Structure 1
Amino acid sequence: MDYKSTLHMPKTDFEMRGNLAKKEPGILKEWEENGHYQKILEHHKDEKPFILHDGPPYANGNLHAGTAMNRCIKDFIVRSHAMEGFYTPFFPGWDTHGLPIENAIQRSGVDRKSMSASEFRQLCETYAKEQIKTQMATEKRLGQVADYDHPYITLQKSFEARQIRCFEKMALDGLIFQGLKPIYWSPYNETAIADSEIFYKDVKDATIFVKFPVADGKGILDQDDSFVIWTTTPWTIPSNEAVCLNPDLVYAEVQTEQGKLIFLESMTEQLLQRFHLENQGVLRTFKGSELELITYHHVVLDKECPVILGDHVTDEDGTGCVHTAGGHGLDDYYACMKYGIPPICTVDERGYMNEEAGPECQGLTFEDCSKKIITMMNEKGLLLAVETMVHSYPHDDRLKKKVIFRAAKQWFCSIEKIREAVLDQIQNHVTWHNEWGQIRMYNMIKDRGDWCISRQRLWGVPIPIFYCEDGSPIMEKEVFDHVADLVEEFGSNVWFEREAKDLLPEGYTNPKSPNGIFTKESDIMDVWFDSGSSWNELEARGGDYPCDLYFEGSDQYRGWFNSSMIVGTAVKGRSPYKEVLSHGYVVDSKGEKMSKSVGNVVNPMDIINTNGADVFRLWAMVSDYKQDLKLGDSNIKQVSEQ
């Protein structure tokens, strides 16, 4: 019997397969034509608002899988609140200033130094807008419902003007200052690097133990005594300004074939073994405090330097006698400042030793200088040991290359003056949905030094400072207001198109410039100041301060969450967000970090074009986003078959 003829199946136009990749564009087009986003807002216009402030992705290259995942989950959060009856405006944002775009323009064959700053900046702006267009198309294809007709973009005139007004408020409140301090510096990009752009990687370097011969023993030590220092950065020896001892630790004067050496008593046998020297007797011991202000001969330059004291010196490694270069380390800087010793810097912005390093080192790269110093110390009979060690060293997260600590005149935001207020916000006024989030953020602010906000680049918002003839900076409300008004009308390029006198208020005078001559700052602001002031956009669009939620990757505790908290508290007196939620990284199907060099990068558009956006969204929805999320063919296949 033919059972087929006995079956009465319903006739329907409903297809057996979803064909999402083909059908979704039509649905999205219908949403756009019907004003789907605007209708959702209209339906809830009189209800309580819920505002998720968008952390702006960087406008460079295609939208990567992590940002696509972030966009999906934000869409779930916003739409679910709309379904619960909240008024949910959502403004997508883009971060558009900074070094990656400058590098992209130069890689295209543009010679930055062959054109004016204004012309180069115009190329950067055009490039950034093209990147936004590409990324926006991907976001829309993902099905995110948002106000794409009115995104906030950090290169917009209104955004830049509001950012300058934030700077103004902080400057007039005494939170902005100029100083010469050691900061992370990229010699390859010739600019300061933000703390949040640093990662540490194990590297193998030469370390050296060197004798610093006593010059004036102050009746305590003899001229044939030598302090023994240890350093992992021999290139900083020309910058040496002091030897730092711990005031409470005990130091020994030890007779050896190399003369009388001064180092920690507790490390005597260990150090002599490393130097291959015989202990011919401990002659005397001293507390570190007894040796304060004894001087020694600088081993590269013709000068004497003092012995100073510092609690940061430990007996855990080294010799207890710390080679101190105030221009190349924060501990060294603070120790020197207590004694009125200003920092010096013997390396230029490109990583080459300058004339202050002495004739034998001048012109060498900092890495070649390390080799030269080892040779010089050996020839002078001052080298006790050379060893190779693996240690953790800071690198630029973008270039993956070494950075250096280098003293440079920079603009800073004082963290010390607002630290307690910020810590109070973290502890008592923000809900942290990741249980470890509050502790991480608290510790970062508790231990953070002053924020270096200046960058030696062109593509960004200028630091709106003028200088008088005597070099003093002008920090006056009238001037700041005038610059902000100019930027609001013409954009920040006006700073680079006009001379200082044409940027100042008409008829402006200053007693420190009797000849009426003024100059302007050439540095731009750290891009984290840009995005850190982006909460301004919500207020400008009628939203409340603070907003309800910030939601980004876990790396933003040291990035956007951090800079927003600092700028918001400094300007408004409280955190710009009520709640914080973070997600993990998107990794490949094996749990490995995605990398172009490895070839395991997943382009979300490849998934969308093959499986449809809803499959990608479903993957984001069912994954435990607080952990790292695995993404690959196997993960998508598993989701698509559910």
Structure 2
Amino acid sequence: MDYKDTLLMPKTDFPMRGNLPNREPQMQAKWDELKIYEKVQNRTKGRPLFILHDGPPYANGDIHMGHALNKVLKDIIVRFKSMSGYHSPYVPGWDTHGLPIETALTKNGKVDRKSMSVAEFRKLCEEYALQQIDRQREQFKRLGVRGDWENPYITLSKEFEAQQIKVFGEMAKQGYIYKGKKPVYWSPSSESALAEAEIEYQDKRSPSIYVAFPVVDGKNVLDGDEKVVIWTTTPWTIPANLAITVHPKLQYSVVQVEGNKYVVASGLLETLVKELEWENHQVIKTFEGEQLEHVICRHPIYERDSLVILGEHVTLDAGTGCVHTAPGHGEDDYIVGQKYNLDVLCPVDDKGVMTAEAPGFEGLFYDNANKPITEKLEEAGALLKLNFVTHSYPHDWRTKKPVIFRATAQWFASIKDFREQLLEAIKEVKWVPNWGETRLYNMVRDRGDWCISRQRAWGVPIPVFYGENGEPIITDETIDHVSSLFRQHGSNIWFEWDTKQLLPDGFTSEHSPNGTFTKEMDIMDVWFDSGSSHQGVLVEREELERPADLYLEGSDQYRGWFNSSLSTSVAVSGKSPYKGILSHGFALDGQGRKMSKSVGNVVVPNDVMKQLGADILRLWVASVDYQSDVRVSDKILKQVAEVYRKIRNTFRFLLGNLDDFDPKLNAVKREDLPELDRYMLIKLNQVIDKVKKGYDEYNFSAVYHTIHNFCTIELSSFYLDIAKDTLYIQSADQHERRSIQTVLYEVLVALTKLVTPILPHTADEVWAFVPGVDEESVQLTDMPDALAIDESEIEAKWNKFMIVRDEVLKALENARNEKVIGKSLTAAIQLYPSAEVKQLLENVEPLHKLFIVSKAEIAGEMAEAPTEAGKFDDLAIVVQSAEGETCERCWVVSTTVGQNETHQTLCVDCATIVTESY
């Protein structure tokens, strides 16, 4: 007889190798066939809602690791909520308007923008955006992200645009929308205004100049022969200078230097003496800044006045304390200029070229004008010093080119009238991490008005008409009509139809007595698009509701989507669009550097999925502290893949040892389970509680580590290691074996459900092999509940035993290193415990199986231990080579081998089993 045939070895068709790159697409095809998203929604309908509202990624190009991190985090949460008593529909979305798509067409698509109408160009933009959506949708689905992919929200859709017009109209009705000429971030490279969220800072080398403005009327404070000194790093704005601002409460000095008298802030004098190399200087007069108000200087280049005015924004951080003021090129300059009725002079056009309002420099690109302007100042004797500085300077985040402050006629959303509402709304939101609240609070507290108009073609039109007198017309009637037209035809009609066709029938206005109207040709900032999604999606979709439970995006969205969504929602509804905010960091390379094609350190999600599989990528997401920046590399992913392999092997072991187990027929009642098996169910309970708590608190790394440790420590290194002999060697229906299988089954079902949000492909693959389950997918089940076990005494007892077991394993390892034994089954151990440990060991059995040795006995008390014994805190251990021969079937070394005449190579226990069962 071949005794191998009498062993009940693991048996399963569940593959050892994941082969995820090939198997996952098959699983996803099965999900599509099952219509798994719809089935999940139908199963959970009627439960309390949990809405995670998707922040729209931009529809351009393949997804990157930031996308993968973001979408997987969302999917983990939605999957968990759907298995935890909630109805959690997930509607993915896309941001589809804006400059990158225009640029992609005109540069890469080689579209001749000037040869076609705005409407024709917009249609090409729409086609391109929809192609990008299809491309990204397949990649997101390949990640295993479950959602309503056939019905996503798209910011270019008719329904979304119609709702966005409603948001604009309601804000206008509240008085929050206005048109004004004021300085905004302007990108000459994009030829458009930019929002703060579209600005990034990079180092730039700029000229640094000190310029003297001659006083022409000292207003009885100055003698009239002084010169007020300003400092600037933007010489190109000197032609736009209309004033010099001083702080009313700072002290200023008149300093005599070699026949010249200069006015500077007293607090900066020492620095300026060194910087301007003034020798033998003498302070001849001091006074407070407010005394200088209305002093008149002469512009150093042009024959016009430069008025000295007062402003609280002046500081002693740098410069001279006398601030060059060009209301057309700075926000503070504009604000203070308005108080003094200064003109908003802006001699720079859309392309950044100096206009005729800057005589002598017309036609020069603003940055190229720095040198000739500086030369002109030197020629006029006004230039005190020229230097160069490298400083952090705002850039267009798309073109990566510098931006300027430039006054143009723009549409603005003013938040000053409801700023306090915004700040109160922020306090009511649950923030993860906590610092998010402070970050957004400070942004909203300090932000100015939001420039929402853009001079581009591809976006939602600003729904404003103008009367014959140039007055803007925004009424309930026009807003409702335009919204209705967009819902029916889409926003392209704004550029295709005549103005009259866009107005309600018979519309009249006091601003147009002759009935002639024109329309606004600017479009809305894309942040107004996505910021309106609470209305365009949460209100528009029947299955959703506002406010959402959670917005989850990268930490850059505090100044972006979190901010714009809050502003528009509070403006139209009085409330925040979200109950909670969860933000994550950025994906960096293995060394913590930003990923860059030029550096060659980019990790591409599509490549990872082709090489390792989506579940490995998802497991990586769960493993990291995503609230900070996270690192990813081939090495890191391979380490994660090794963890995955251990989890998969655990599932395979469990399945293999349940091949002959029917939970309805073979399960042992809980009260009839041996203590060790009940102890493992207690451990399982703890895992269930920890994992569910981790999911609930969005602490997915705790989920990852809890599951990994359970698989490798409690199961693989302890329980499964001990259980093998019983599972393989005993006859099928022996109580001890069925007890272990009962525990393995509980572990298998619970573990499969617990990993489902993170490893959905693997979990469903496992589920297909789980005996006795009725659901066609584990996604159609709920998270496991902790089993009703209150056996604290058993837990305490076996926790102590685990400590003793660790000591025994150390003694065995030492004996193995000293060549006393080979494998642990070749060992016999003699135990000399303390009184407490002796009582413990006498109440657990059989000791040799628990320690996986051939023989274990309590040989005496600890004080009686021989000198060669290995000594630990409460136990001394002697490890010897076991006496007897090795049983051919169970590999235990026993003196009973050969006692059965029929099965002479077996120990007595194995001989009995074989005789009775075969």
Q: Shorter-chain-normalised TM-score: which range?
A: over 0.9
Question: By how many angstroms is 1:597 displaced?
Answer: 2.4
Instruction: Give the percent of matched residue pairs that are identical in Structure 1 and Structure 2.
Output: 53
CA distance in 2, matches of 1:291, 1:560: 44
CA distance in 2, matches of 1:60, 1:424: 36
More helix by share: 2
1:445 partner amino acid: V
Q: Could you give the per-residue CA deviations for residues 552-595 of structure 1, whole angstroms, max 9, x where no partner exists?
A: 11111111111110111001110001011111111111111112
Of residues 208-217 and 273-282 in structure 1, the stretch that sits farther from structure 2 once superposed is 273-282
Partner of 1:435: 434
CA distance in 2, matches of 1:388, 1:483: 52
Structure 1 residues 467, 29: closer, same or farther in 2, change over 3 A? same
Partner of 1:15: 15
Partner of 1:472: 471
CA distance in 1, matches of 2:141, 2:76: 14
1:485 and 2:465 are equivalent in the alignment: no
Q: SS where residue 600 of structure 1 aligns? A: coil
Question: By how many angstroms is 1:4 displaced?
Answer: 8.4
1:501 and 2:500 are equivalent in the alignment: yes
CA distance in 1, matches of 2:203, 2:142: 41
Partner of 2:334: 333
Which runs of structure 2 are paired with 1:111-150 in the superposition (5 Å)? 111-150=112-151
Structure 1 residues 258, 78: closer, same or farther in 2, change over 3 A? farther
Of residues 285-294 and 566-575 in structure 1, the stretch that sits farther from structure 2 once superposed is 285-294
**What is the TM-score of this pair, normalised by structure 1?**
0.97
Q: Could you give the per-residue CA deviations for residues 35-86 of structure 1, whole angstroms, max 9, x where no partner exists?
A: 1111111111111111100001000000111111211111110010111121
1:212 partner amino acid: F
CA distance in 1, matches of 2:172, 2:8: 80
Partner of 2:377: 377
1:462 partner amino acid: P
Whether the aligned pair in 2 keeps the contact of 1:327 and 1:333 (CA below 8 Å) is: yes
Where in structure 1 do 4 or more consecutive aligned residues deviate above 6 Å?
A: 2-8
CA distance in 1, matches of 2:387, 2:446: 32
Partner of 1:448: 447
Partner of 1:415: 415
Structure 1 residues 548, 8: closer, same or farther in 2, change over 3 A? closer
**What is the TM-score of this pair, normalised by structure 2?**
0.68
Structure 1 gaps, min length 5 = none
2:86 partner amino acid: F
Q: SS where residue 579 of structure 2 aligns? A: strand
CA distance in 2, matches of 1:72, 1:316: 45
Q: Could you give the per-residue CA deviations for residues 85-133 of structure 1, whole angstroms, max 9, x where no partner exists?
A: 2111110000000011011011121121111000000000000000000
2:306 partner amino acid: C
Q: Could you give the per-residue CA deviations for residues 292-332 of structure 1, whole angstroms, max 9, x where no partner exists?
A: 10111112222112110111112232111111011111111
Partner of 1:400: 400
Partner of 1:69: 69
Partner of 1:184: 185
Q: SS where residue 362 of structure 1 aligns? A: coil
Structure 1 residues 258, 193: closer, same or farther in 2, change over 3 A? farther
Of residues 66-75 and 272-281 in structure 1, the stretch that sits farther from structure 2 once superposed is 272-281
CA distance in 1, matches of 2:116, 2:296: 51
Partner of 2:361: 361
Question: By how many angstroms is 1:25 displaced?
Answer: 1.0
- Structure with higher Rg: it is 2
Partner of 2:313: 312
1:288 and 2:286 are equivalent in the alignment: no
Q: Could you give the per-residue CA deviations for residues 457-494 of structure 1, whole angstroms, max 9, x where no partner exists?
A: 01000000011111110011111111111111110000
Structure 2 gaps, min length 5 = 644-918
CA distance in 1, matches of 2:23, 2:282: 88
1:390 and 2:398 are equivalent in the alignment: no
CA distance in 1, matches of 2:592, 2:292: 55
Question: By how many angstroms is 1:507 displaced?
Answer: 1.6
CA distance in 2, matches of 1:162, 1:511: 28
Partner of 1:89: 89
2:23 partner amino acid: K
Partner of 2:44: 44
Partner of 1:213: 214
Whether the aligned pair in 2 keeps the contact of 1:272 and 1:279 (CA below 8 Å) is: no
Q: SS where residue 200 of structure 2 aligns? A: strand
CA distance in 2, matches of 1:74, 1:131: 21
1:560 partner amino acid: W
Question: How much is the aligned-residue C-alpha RMSD, in angstroms?
Answer: 1.6
Which runs of structure 2 are paired with 1:579-594 in the superposition (5 Å)? 579-594=580-595
Question: By how many angstroms is 1:281 displaced?
Answer: 2.7
1:36 partner amino acid: I
Structure 1 residues 334, 10: closer, same or farther in 2, change over 3 A? closer
Which runs of structure 2 are paired with 1:493-532 in the superposition (5 Å)? 493-532=492-531
More strand by share: 1
Whether the aligned pair in 2 keeps the contact of 1:465 and 1:474 (CA below 8 Å) is: yes
Question: By how many angstroms is 1:3 displaced?
Answer: 10
Q: Could you give the per-residue CA deviations for residues 148-175 of structure 1, whole angstroms, max 9, x where no partner exists?
A: 1110000000000000001010101101
Question: By how many angstroms is 1:396 displaced?
Answer: 1.3
CA distance in 1, matches of 2:111, 2:557: 32
More contact order relative to length (CA 8 Å, sep ≥ 6): 1
Q: SS where residue 577 of structure 1 aligns? A: coil
Of residues 324-333 and 505-514 in structure 1, the stretch that sits farther from structure 2 once superposed is 505-514
1:111 partner amino acid: D
Partner of 2:604: 603
Whether the aligned pair in 1 keeps the contact of 2:328 and 2:406 (CA below 8 Å) is: yes
Partner of 2:254: 253
Whether the aligned pair in 1 keeps the contact of 2:553 and 2:583 (CA below 8 Å) is: yes
1:630 partner amino acid: R
Question: By how many angstroms is 1:15 displaced?
Answer: 2.5
CA distance in 1, matches of 2:392, 2:13: 64
Question: By how many angstroms is 1:8 displaced?
Answer: 7.2
1:491 partner amino acid: G
CA distance in 2, matches of 1:10, 1:209: 84
Q: Number of residue pairs matched?
A: 640
Whether the aligned pair in 2 keeps the contact of 1:468 and 1:512 (CA below 8 Å) is: yes
